[in-house]
Structure 1
Amino acid sequence: MPQPGPANTTSHLTTFLIVSIFVIALFPSIFVGIFWAPYNSIAETQKSLTLPSHSRGSYLITDHIVSSLPEIKSYKTGLLNLFIQHTSCALSLNENWDQDVRADMSTALDRIVPEDKKGEGLYRHDAEGSDDMPAHVKSALIGASVTVPITNGRLNTGTWQGIWYLEFRDVKHTRKVVATIQGEKM
């Protein structure tokens, strides 16, 4: 009977490695499942939301977002990204208590990006009205998305922060927001 020695040990190790590579090649899902197991609590969800129709102005929509996304409560930690699918409005995080801040923001943006009500040729793109091109510029300045951290099932905003919807057109429009949540479930 042969004695176990270095040659037999090497032979067993080689056989184990060859069989392991063969199993991984034929059944990669088993391999991925074993090594991905610690990350199984990571989840994501995506929804399309419709915002209440508004004409020009800045509107606090935090409560609307939270009530439309009960899934937030199931995340231990994560991120909520909101993306507005339009080019003449914007989303922002800002003051949530004093309504004058929202009015002042609209006034300030109107000063920064004026309309061409006198037809002086401020903008080439004017087929949709004097408020359209300024709306595009304001949207580019403010942005089409916000990302808010989620901690223990709640949006982790500062005390005075809220999610704003800024509408830059005079006529009311229906606006869609894509909400994406990524994070660790509870």
Structure 2
Amino acid sequence: MRSYRKELWFDIPARREFRNITSQVERCLQESGIQEGLLLCNAMHITASVFINDDESGLHQDFERWLEGLAPHEPLSNYLHNNTGEDNGDAHLKRTVMGREVVVAVTGGRLDFGPWEQIFYGEFDGRRRKRVLVKIIGE
């Protein structure tokens, strides 16, 4: 069995953003040369997420509205975590809801997706450099 590892780095200028990273992950798969196996893609920061869903702008706006309803950024006093001097208590909760990672089957050297599936990086406390790990194992 072979393995491949690569970090993808992101500089998101806004506090929150959803970014389609499917093409970057597919490039990793091509670089790996692995034809059959599993691909893990995970956020390496506790205020960011990796998830699979449809690349449709209305859905992304729905995510934003829904997440802000569940864990609004303000007032900052809503979160005990913010007593540490941080202002990102909401981002930790949003990440928990959206998830840390995805695992995708690799078949015939391609991501074995269902219809409309794409991989997204979700940033909930941006304005600094963050990374995503891509780890692929297989033959």
Relative to the length of structure 2, the TM-score reads 0.87
1:105 to 56, 63, 66: 63
2:4 to 26, 32, 45: 45
1:85 to 7, 28, 44: 44
Deviation at 1:54, TM superposition (A): 4.4
Query: Greater relative contact order: 1 or 2 (C-alpha under 8 angstroms, separation 6 or more)?
Result: 2
Relative to the length of structure 1, the TM-score reads 0.67
Deviation at 1:174, TM superposition (A): 1.6
The 3-state SS of whatever aligns with 2:78 is: coil
Structure 2 residue 107 is matched with structure 1 residue 142: no
Structure 2 residue 120 is matched with structure 1 residue 161: no
Query: Which residue of 1 is the match for residue 17 of structure 2?
Result: 57
Name the Cα RMSD after superposition.
1.7
Query: Which residue of 2 is the match for residue 116 of structure 1?
Result: 74
Distance 1:57 1:63 in 2: 17
Distance 2:48 2:92 in 1: 7
Residue identity opposite 2:110 in structure 1? R
Query: Which residue of 1 is the match for residue 128 of structure 2?
Result: 173
Structure 2 residue 34 is matched with structure 1 residue 75: yes
Q: Deviations over 1:51-89 (max 9, x none)?
A: 3534212221111222344335x2221111012110111
Identity of counterpart residues, as a percentage?
A: 28
Query: Which residue of 1 is the match for residue 81 of structure 2?
Result: 125
Q: Greater CA radius of gyration, 1 or 2?
A: 1
Tell me which stretches of 4 or more aligned residues in structure 1 moved more than 4 Å. Answer: none
Which has the larger share of helix? 1
Q: Deviations over 1:72-129 (max 9, x none)?
A: 5x22211110121101111100012x22111211111111112232x5x321111222
Query: Which residue of 1 is the match for residue 137 of structure 2?
Result: 182
